[in-house]
Structure 1
Amino acid sequence: MSFIAIERVLCGWPRFCRKLIITSRSLTSDLWRALVKQPGAAENVGKPGMELGWRSCFGIHVSLSKASVVYVGHRRYSTYEKTSTQILTKLFPQTSEEPNDEESRERRKLEEEEELKEMERAWRRMKLGFGLFGIGGLLFSFWAIYYFGKPALDEQGNEVIDEFSRLPPVKQYMWRTWQSVNHFQRFIQEPSSQKLLPEPLQAPYVQPSYTLVLEIKDVLVHPDWTYETGWRFKKRPGVDLFLKECAKYFEIVVYTAEQGVTVFPLLDALDPNGYIMYRLVRDSTHFVGGHHVKNLDNLNRDLKRVVVVDWDRNSTKFHPSNSFSIPRWSGNDNDSTLFELASFLSVLGTSEIDDVRDVLQYYNQFSDSLSQFRENQRKLSEQMHAEELGKTSKSRPVVKNWTRGFISH
C-alpha cells in the first residue's frame, strides 16, 4: 500500500465514523416512527400475522411480524445511541450532535450543578482532613514537650536539679525538649563510641606496627541480586592471599557503612582463619552531608600508622592523607587488584616507615596508584640489577694484571 493510500484512509476515518453514527441514529429514529406513528400499530401489537414496514437510510424495506420485536430492537438501539453519543461528546465536544433544545440545556445544567456540588463536598472533606491532621500534630507537640521536657527524678522520686531548674516552667520544658532533640540528632550523626577499638596490646602480646582499615563492599566482595537467588556476595579474586599476607604486618580492621546484620555473617564465611581482628559497622560512622564518613579519630590508634583502603573518597574525607584509593570492583573474574595491593602493603610493612601518610600522599597524586607502584618497582628492579651487574663485571687493577702476565712469560 502506498503512502497516498494510507493518507486517504487516515483522512477518511473521521468522516466514516461520523457517517456510521448518523446511520445508527437514522435506524433508531425510523424504527421508532414505525412503531409509534404507523396507523393501527398500537392495536396490532401482539397479533400474529401483522407486519410493520419501515425504510432505513439505505433504502432497504424490512418487515417484522411482531411489534414487540420492534420495541426491543428500538430499546437496544436507543441505549447504544445514548452511550456512544455521551462518550463522543465528552471526547470531542466540537462533534456533538445533541439537540440544542430546552430539555438538553436543562439536563446539562443539572449535570454541571451536580459536579459543582461534588467538588464542594470533596473540598470540605479535604479541609476536614487537614484540620484533623493539624489538631493531631498540635496535640502530639504538646505531649512531646511535656514528656521530654519534664525534669528527671531520682530513686526517691524527687526532681533532679539541672541547669534549667531556675527558669520559668514553660522555658524549662522547652529547653529540656530542645536538649533531647539535639541529643537524638547527635546519636544519629556521631559514632556510637569515642573509642571504637580497644587499647593496643601490651607485652608479652604482639601488637602489629600498623593498622589496615578495609571497606568490605566492592573491595573484598561484590553484592549481586536476582529474582531466582536473591542477594548473593561474590568473593574478589585473591582475597584469601591478601588477608594472609597483610596479617603479617597489619592489624586488620573492617570499617564499613553497611549494617551489622549483613556484615557479621558475611565476614564469618569470608575469614574463617580470623585474620580480621575487629569489625566496625554503620553505627561507628559519622553521618555528615548525606554520607557515612569513617572518622579515624575514634579508632584509638596513632594515625601515622593507619592505612585506609577504599574506593569512595567521600567515606574518608576527614582524613584523605590516610586513604589509599583502588578501583571499585564490579564482579569481573579477571581482576588482579588485590594481588598488587598485597605487594604494595607488604613493601610498606617491611619498610618500617614512621609515618605512612607521606607515602600515601605521594601515590594519591596519581590517577592509578597501583600502576604507579608497579612502575616504581620496575625501575627499582632495573636499577638493582644494573648495580649487581656493575659489581660482578668490575675489572681488576691494571698493574696487577700486567705484572702477572710479565712473570708468566
Structure 2
Amino acid sequence: MTPIAIGRMLYGGSRFSRKLINTSRALTSGLWHTMINSVMLQTQAGIKCTEKGVYMPPCNIYSNYLEPPHLVYLIHRRYSTCEKTSTQILSKLFPQTSMELDDEASRDRRKREEEEELREMERAWKRMKIGFGVFGVGGVIFSFWAIYFFGKPSLDEQGNEVTDEFSSLPLVKQYMARTFKSLNHFQRFIQEPSSQKLLPDPLQAPYVQPPYTLVLEVKDLLIHPDWTYQTGWRFKKRPGVDVFLRECSKYFEIVVYTAEQGMTVFPLLDALDPSGYIMYRLVRDSTHFVGGHHVKNLDNLNRDLKRVVVVDWDKNSTKMHPGNTFSIPRWSGNDDDTTLFDLISFLSVLGSSEVDDVREVLQYYNQFEEPIAKFRENQRKLCEQMQADEFEKLSKPKPMVKNWSRGFMKP
C-alpha cells in the first residue's frame, strides 16, 4: 500500500463519519416529514368541515395555540426546509441521484469541495512523511548506538582491551561481528535453558536415591490460581495434594518443573509442601522456548529416561518426550475432584512393580482417551480375577489320605 493510499484511507474515515452524521439527520427529517403529513391531513379535514358549516378542530397539540391557516403555513415552511436539506444530504452521499441543476453555483461549490479535499490529503501526506522521517532517523541512531555498545571489545580490570577472535579484523567488521555474536547469545538465552544439567547427580550410598523420578506441573495440577476484584490473586490447593505428595515420595524423586516464574512458584511451594517432599524445583529459565511454547526438555534432567514419569495436562509443554508423559485433565478449581487419589493408586502400583522401563506402561495407557479410568477398570478386573482364583482354590476338595494323616499326627 502506497503512502498516498494510506493518506486517502485516513482522510476517508473522517469523511465517512461526517456522512454518517448527515444520514442520521436525514432520517430524523424523514420522521418530521411523516408527522407533518399527518397534521396537514387532519388540518385539511378540519377546514373541509368548516366549509360545510361545522368546524371540527384537528386532533393535534398545536391546534390549541395556532389557527389552521397559520398552522398550514408553518408546516409548509418546515416541510420545504426538511425536504431541501434531506435532498442535499442524499445528493452528497449518492451523487448519481443528485437532483440539483448543473448551474454555475453548483459547479463552483463542487470545485471548492474538491480543492478542500486535495488540500486535506496534502496535509495528511506531509504529516505522514514527517512521522516516517522521525522514525527513520531514530532507527538509524539506535542502530549505530547498538553496534557501538555491543560491538566494542571487552576490557580487563586495568582497562585494557581483551584480545578475542575478532581483533584481527578491520574495525568496522570487528564491531559488526561482536554485535551479531551478542544477539545470537541473547537469542539462545531466551530459547534454551540456563543449564544443560538441571539436576545434580543421583545420590550415592549411604544416602537413598528413589528408584524413579516424578516430574509434576504446579499450575492447574497441584494448585489453581483465581483472581477477583475483591480479593486479587488467590491460589487453591487441589483435593488430596498432601496425601499425594506423601505417598509418591515413597517410590519417586519428586521434581516440580513448570514454565512459571520463580518469584511466583517458590513462595507457593513453600506453603504447599512444608514437609519437603518436593526435592527439586525447576522454573521458566529451565525450559526450551519452541514454537511459542515453553517446552520441558527431559534430556537436561540428568536422569535415566526409562525411569522418569511426567504428569501434566498440557501436551505442548511435553511434546519433546510424549512417551514419558501421563496426561490427566486440567483442574479448574472444583472441590469434588478425585483425580489425585486415583493417580496415587496408579503411581504406587507402578513404583512397587519395579518396572524397568516406565515408557512401555505409559504408552499403553496414553492410547486411551481417559487413562485413569482405564487403569481403574484394569484394577477392577485384576481384583475380580484374584478373588475368583482364591475362591477356586478354597473350593477345591482335598485328598482324604492327606486329611487323615494330618489329623493322625496331631497330638
Question: In the alignment, what sits opposite 2:196?
Answer: 194
Cα distance in 1 for residues equivalent to 2:148 and 2:208:
54
Q: In structure 2, the residue corresponding to 1:272 is in which secondary structure?
A: coil
Name the SS of the counterpart of 1:132 in structure 2. Answer: helix
Counterpart residue number, 2:30: 17
Map 1:280-299 → 2, pairs under 5 A = 280-299=282-301
Partner of 1:168: 170
Q: What is the Cα deviation at residue 287 of structure 1?
A: 0.5
> What's the counterpart of residue 220 of structure 2?
218
Hey, what's the Cα distance between the residues in 1 that align with 2:252 and 2:32? 88
Secondary structure of 1:318's counterpart equals coil
Q: C-alpha displacement at 1:255, in angstroms?
A: 0.7
Task: Give 1:136's aligned residue.
Answer: 138
Alpha-carbon distance in structure 1 between the residues aligned to 2:270 and 2:100: 78
* Deviation for aligned residue 1:133: 1.0
Structure 1 residue 83, shift from structure 2 partner: 7.5
Confirm or deny: 8 A CA contact 2:33 2:82 kept in the other structure.
no
The code of the aligned residue for 2:290 comes to V
Tell me, in whole angstroms, the C-alpha distance in 1 between the residues paired with 2:381 and 2:92. 82
Q: Post-superposition shift, 1:142?
A: 1.7
Which residue of structure 1 lines up, in the alignment, with residue 150 of structure 2? 148
Shift of 1:99: 6.3
TM-score (norm. length: structure 1): 0.74
Q: Which has the higher helix share?
A: 2
Aligned equivalents of 2:356, 2:188: Cα separation in 1: 35
| Shift in alpha-carbon separation, 1:323–1:19, aligned structure 2, 3 A | closer
Native 8 Å contact 2:213 2:252 kept in 1: yes
Change (3 A) 1:115 1:307: same
The 2-side partners of 1:396 and 1:349 are apart by 38
Amino acid at match of 1:202: Q
Residue 389 of structure 1: aligned partner: 391
Structure 1 residue 204, shift from structure 2 partner: 3.3
Between the aligned residues of both structures, percent identity stands at: 78
With over 3 angstroms needed to count, the CA separation of the structure-2 counterparts of 1:105 and 1:206, relative to structure 1, is same
**Are 1:60 and 2:73 matched, yes or no?**
no
SS in 1 for 2:354: coil
Q: Using a 3 Å threshold, how does the CA distance of structure 1 residues 280 and 89 change in structure 2: closer, same or farther?
A: same
CA contact (8 A) 2:289 2:295 kept: yes
- What TM-score do the two structures reach when normalised by structure 2? 0.74
The answer for the alignment partner of 1:203 in structure 2 is 205
State which structure, 1 or 2, has the greater radius of gyration over its C-alpha atoms.
1
In structure 2, stretches of 5+ residues that fail to align are: 1-25, 37-66, 72-76, 407-411
Query: Distance between the aligned counterparts of 1:199 and 1:83, measured in 2?
Result: 87
State the Cα distance separating 1:387 from its structure 2 match: 2.7
**Aligned residues: CA RMSD:** 3.6
Report the AA paired with residue 17 of structure 1: G
Gaps of 5+ in 1: 1-12, 24-57, 63-73, 405-409
Distance 2:130 2:325 in 1: 57
Would the alpha carbon gap of residues 19 and 186 (structure 1) be closer, same or farther in structure 2, given more than 3 Å must change? Answer: closer
Q: 1:80 to 1:265 in 2, by over 3 A?
A: farther
- CA distance change for structure 1 residues 80 and 229 in 2, over 3 Å: closer, same or farther? farther
Q: Name the CA distance, whole Å, in 2 between partners of 1:249 and 1:403.
A: 47
Whether contact under 8 Å (2:224, 2:333) holds in the other structure is yes
